[in-house]
Structure 1
Amino acid sequence: MAAAAPASPKSASAKREREARIGVTVLSGFLGSGKTTLLSRLLNESHGKRLAVIVNDMSELNLDARAASKLVQAEQKLVAMQNGCICCTLREDLLEEVAKLARSGKFDYLVIESTGIAEPLPVAETFSFDSEGASLSDLARLDTMVTMVDAHSFLHDLDTLESLDDRGWEEEQEDAEQHVSTLLVEQIEFANVVVINKCDLVSEAEAARVEAAVRGLNPEAKVIRATKAAVPLDAVMNTGLFSMEKASTAAGWLKEARGEHVPETVEYGISSFVFRSKRPFHPGRLGLLLESRAFSSGTSSQAPPRRRAGADGKALPPAAASDAEGEAKAGDVDDDDEDNAALMAKAASEPLALQAAMRGEYGFVIRSKGIAWLAGSEAGSNSFAGEWSHSGRRVSLTPTGQWMASVPEADRPKDEEFVRSWSDEPGVGDRCNEVVIIAFDLKVDEFRAALQACQVTDAEWEAGPASWAKIEDPIWGDVDWEAFIEAMTAADDDDDEEGGAAGHHHHHDHGACSLPVAGGEDREPESKRAASSSPVGDSA
């Protein structure tokens, strides 16, 4: 066997430079999830590394920094960043501080503890920013994105309809209406390592359900159960796990959409599938399903959650108030039972498959995402795709770009992928439903049948859009389509004037749902081709 060729001096030098960069771990997770406890362990245990720590806390007193400062030894460095979030308002400060610590040569490793409301993606993107021809990645190596999850509060946080503002987490931010469940899911979906902490406070069955949910949301992440944040240090430092490309495609819904199906296992009890069809949803029947217990974690005895899934993305109050221990208050239970009975009464004449799904007999959906076609008028619902996004109990179905079938033929794309996806059936064209479903205890065939039951019937299909316009629409019935089109056009004009650059908001659009088509290629959904999202509604 021939000996391997020696590495060239140039490649060896490049390798040394890469290895010389300071490694970085970012800790994300809600307040109380255990980030500071883990940080304490990293600072106090004997690992032989000189640690630098950046602590970001939104509170005026910066309690996390005060707690951590007591633990920092003489050879370690603490930088406290407060009155802002490192994923937006303090982003430039973060870049400068990391660069300063890396250039000092005094530290072997850097740990960044983000505030509980920080989104991991924009923090990670900071490491790829170029500044005067130099990138932070030349000095620092983003090694691991760790998300801490509180096993005791996870299912409640997943099911809650509260916004960050409701909890007093983001009182003066632009996007105080961002939802707790949405942020929780985003923190999990972008992680390399998820630590399910406080497992001593829950039963084995509940811990298993939390782990199942985490694995369903992010099949790529390394999942560790812990008590008092006791995890092996080599599981969160110098793992070499982070890759922006992998992290950006690790979400379970996206892997399912791309055809990378993760099969259901008895051990985790979570599974997924993609619902695809070329027939519109009846907004009334779909609204019933979205309001039902089927779109929850299935752990609450109060079902369904009281909420309206609509274009404005707003919701009615949650199913039951909770006390500090997460127990439903008795005074709310009867009201919720009445709500459930009223909802099922509305569905009494609907297909049995839909009714069974509403009762939770076919599984409990904790995450769903995609595009939807709602039956409606030619000037409204039938011309615009719906961006479907859902976490926990929070469902948002927001009108977005036009279906190409509703624009003149001369303005339609001519590329091969678009042509292949086009249906020549009258009234269809590129209109479709493509929705990823991730659920507990999922009966795939039965749930698929329930979604099919939510579509227009053969008779309703034959009646066409003129008849659909008369359907009572609890989802988009209050949309002013003329105002929507005007706002959408104005947004496109603004993007053109600014060269397509969008301003930074605290809640980020993590990209379009890229769904596979026949032949295995990926494409952006048709709803994204003609127009950007409008101000109508939120994107959960």
Structure 2
Amino acid sequence: MVSVSTVPITSAVTAPVDRRPAVTVLSGFSPSAVQAAASALLVADPELLAIRHDLTGIRDGLVSRTVLTATTVLEHTLVELLHGCVSCTLREDVLPTLIRLAHERPGSDLLLVLPPAVEPEAVAAACEHSPVGESVRFDSYVTVVDADTFLDDLASADDLSDRNLHAADDDHRAVAEVVVHQVEFSDTVILWTHPDTDPLESERLSALVHRLAPWSAQVPTGNSDRVDCTALAARVRRTGRHDPTRPGLLGRALEGRQIAVHDPDGDHGVTSIVFRTRRPFHPQRLNEALEELTENTLRGRGQLWLASQPDTALAFEFAGGGLSLGTLGYWLAALPAERWTETSDERRLAADLDWDPYYGDRRTVLALIGLHLDHHALTGLLRSCLLTDAELADGSDAWRDLPDPFAGCFPLTDDTTTEEN
């Protein structure tokens, strides 16, 4: 007699369907290219709603909001703000509008079209302190790059105020700073070219964007005078590319993430250099080298540490002739172990995998991006700014007494966050 055992049949567990409207955030510094891309996406989906804000009067506390489809203007409203600034606009009107539209028209996805001077990371930051995620999901941050203007804007020394695009009297951001931040925060970059765009320029543009944002998908529009709206929408919308947990760009290296492609030989003349070292910088020598270091660089970014300030992880950022150094908080090696939980799991894992018995998690990771950069000269210059063997041998107590032009510039307190927000 053969015994037969029976195995109960269980049905596969199906993940719940996310029915929240998907939001695509569209940014870019060229209004005409952003407008053209938005129009193409609206044509491809008659149910898609676009939300635009005109910030022309923001310094007077007035913002114009328009909601439209491909064929109809549904709303055109003048909004009066208590304080005229970008963060107030996002908090008081943009995010509430997304929530309202999600409830009024639940079957429609949303296209948030940002004004030229608004950086997409500001939207993501505002969402962290808003219930907007209960009503919508942010599917992808898309930046439109105009082949005719991008390189000029990236190399420009203009401030936003020089073009009357500043959002407030104390808005001193550079044009190049905004342009690179838009590209670097993107999940997708639309390369908007024109019928008369030189194919070699298109290739150089693609190479430059890849060096600036190697983590972003590129979507070229081609050189035709017509855009395939359906094909463009298929490659841009509902891609699920956005990861809301990823750190800000200057915090990427702290989590062991890529900050750039190391390509010293260049592609179409676009050079990208990634410099890594455990050894600390001599503060005075670094300060004296900064002008030469950035002279021919379009973009610089990353993290570093100074021998004289060994507790502090420093952010390095350069664009449009403007250089800034700021604090990313404490190195883990400078904190008691019980405080490590204040940082992300990814950062602790990266530190553990690459821990140095002498330096701990302290390390410099710098990226320099430009056209025809001299790799050997720049890396040689950076190495000359590091402590020598003799200076290292003096010990960390002696390092704190090194001449330091940055003394007092990066104060740390118990409230200082340990990674970039």
Scaled by the length of structure 2, what TM-score is found? 0.72
* Amino acid of the structure 2 residue aligned with 1:153: T
Provide the residue aligned with 1:217 in structure 2.
212
Conserved? CA contact 1:368–1:390, under 8 Å: yes
Structure 2 CA distance for aligned equivalents of residues 401 and 279 of structure 1: 16
Instruction: After TM superposition, list the pairs within 5 Å mapping 1:348-497 onto structure 2.
Output: 364=297, 366-373=299-306, 386-398=314-326, 413=337, 420-423=355-358, 433-440=363-370, 441=372, 447-458=378-389, 476=406, 481=408, 488=411, 492=413, 495=415
Question: What SS is found at the alignment partner of 1:373?
Answer: coil
Unaligned runs of 5+ residues in structure 1 are 296-303, 305-359, 376-380, 424-428, 501-508, 514-540
Contact map agreement 2:188 2:219 (CA 8 A) in 1: yes
Give CA-to-partner distance per residue, 1:157-206, whole Å, 9 cap, x none.
22333333333222525x50223222222211221211222455654444
- Three-state SS of the structure 2 residue aligned to 1:396 is strand
1:261-307 superposed Cα distances (whole Å, 9 cap, x missing partner): 746486564444242132433524x3454213x52xxxxxxxx4xxx
Preserved contact between residue 256 and residue 272 of structure 1 (Cα < 8 Å): no
Per the TM alignment, residue 37 of structure 1 is displaced from its structure 2 partner at its CA by: 2.1
Does the alignment pair 1:156 with 2:87?
no
Find the aligned partners of 1:402 and 1:255 in 2 and give their Cα distance: 14
Amino acid at match of 2:209: V
**How many angstroms does 1:55 deviate by?**
0.7
SS of equivalent to 2:214? coil
CA distance in 2, matches of 1:58, 1:100: 21
Q: Distance in 2 between matches of 1:130 and 1:3?
A: 45
Alignment check: 8 A CA contact 2:23 2:140 kept: yes
The answer to whether the 8 Å contact 1:281/1:454 transfers is yes
* Equivalent in the alignment of 1:98: 98
Match of 1:291 in 2: 291
How many residues were matched structurally?
388
Q: Structure 2 counterpart of 1:152, which letter?
A: D
Cα distance in 2 between the residues matched to 1:129 and 1:253: 20
Q: How far, CA to CA, are the matches of 1:87 and 1:236 in structure 2?
A: 26
Corresponding residue number in structure 1 for 2:420: 512
**Cross-structure match for 1:194:** 189
Give the counterpart letter for 2:282 in structure 1: F
> Aligned-pair distance for 1:59?
0.9
- Contact 2:24–2:139 (CA under 8 A) maintained in structure 1: yes
- The change in CA–CA distance for 1:40 and 1:130 in structure 2 (over 3 A counts) is closer
Matches of 2:299 and 2:171, distance apart in 1: 23
Bigger Cα displacement from structure 2, 51-60 vs 31-40: 31-40
8 Å Cα contact 2:54/2:64 also seen in 1? yes
Amino acid at match of 2:143: T
Q: Report % sequence identity.
A: 23
**What residue number does 2:27 align with?**
28
- In structure 2, what is the equivalent of residue 73 of structure 1? 71
Flag the structure with higher strand content.
2
Give the conservation status (yes or no) of the 8 Å contact 2:141–2:242: yes
The C-alpha deviation readout for 1:32-88, integer Å capped at 9, x for no partner, is: 352222222333x3x35312221112113999968x86x7525x6345576656654
Q: How far does the alpha carbon of each residue in 1:128-166 deviate from its partner, in whole angstroms, 9 at most, with x for none?
A: 6554xxxx3343232221111222222232233333333
CA deviation after TM superposition for structure 1 residue 99, in Å: 2.0
Deviation at 1:452, TM superposition (A): 0.9
The match for 1:531 is none
Native 8 Å contact 1:151 1:198 kept in 2: yes
2:235 maps to which residue? 235
Written as runs of structure 1 = structure 2, the 5 A alignment for 1:107-256 is 107-125=107-125, 131=131, 136-170=132-166, 172=168, 175-200=170-195, 202-226=197-221, 230=227, 232-245=232-245, 248=247, 254=252
Once residues 454 and 137 of structure 1 are traced to their aligned partners in structure 2, the CA distance between those partners, rounded to angstroms, is: 46
What is the DSSP-based 3-state SS (H/G/I as helix, E as strand, rest coil) of the residue aligned with 1:194?
Answer: strand
Task: Tell me how far apart the structure 2 counterparts of residues 114 and 29 of structure 1 sit (CA, whole Å).
Answer: 8
How far is 1:244 from its partner? 1.5
RMSD: 4.5
